[in-house]
Amino acid sequence: MNHTDHDDIRPDVRATARRLLYDLARRGELPAEALDTKDRSRLFAELWERGWTDAEIGVHTKTTTFTVARVRERLGLAPRTITKGAA
């Protein structure tokens, strides 16, 4: 049996912690790297949908623009160089 650090955490506690981490990252208080891949992708997509550029997402999530672009491309989202509505 493969034992990990998370084996002892109840599923309801794990879900609550995951939501808390996501909320902190969404507010820009926690680096997106603290999230799992699925939540980080969801956060980047959420910010992209709000019209944010890769650079804005990177600064807010404390992530490099390279990483933001890589995730955005994987999600099939178009690059954005100016904030939506700023033109």
pLDDT of 7 reads 66
Q: Is residue 45 part of a domain?
A: yes
Q: Is residue 81 part of a domain?
A: no
Range of the domain at 28: 11-74
Three-state DSSP class for residue 20: helix
Is residue 47 within 8 Å of residue 28, measured between CB atoms?
no
Q: Give ∠ CA 32-34-38 in degrees, rounded to 5.
A: 70
Q: Which residue ranges in the chain fall short of pLDDT 50?
A: 1-3
Is residue 56 within 8 Å of residue 29, measured between CB atoms?
no
Q: Is residue 3 part of a domain?
A: no
Query: Hey, what's the torsion of the CAs at 18, 32, 67, 45, to 10 degrees?
Result: 60
Q: How many domains does the chain have?
A: 1
Q: Is residue 39 part of a domain?
A: yes
Q: Is residue 64 part of a domain?
A: yes
Q: Is residue 59 part of a domain?
A: yes
pLDDT of 65 reads 95
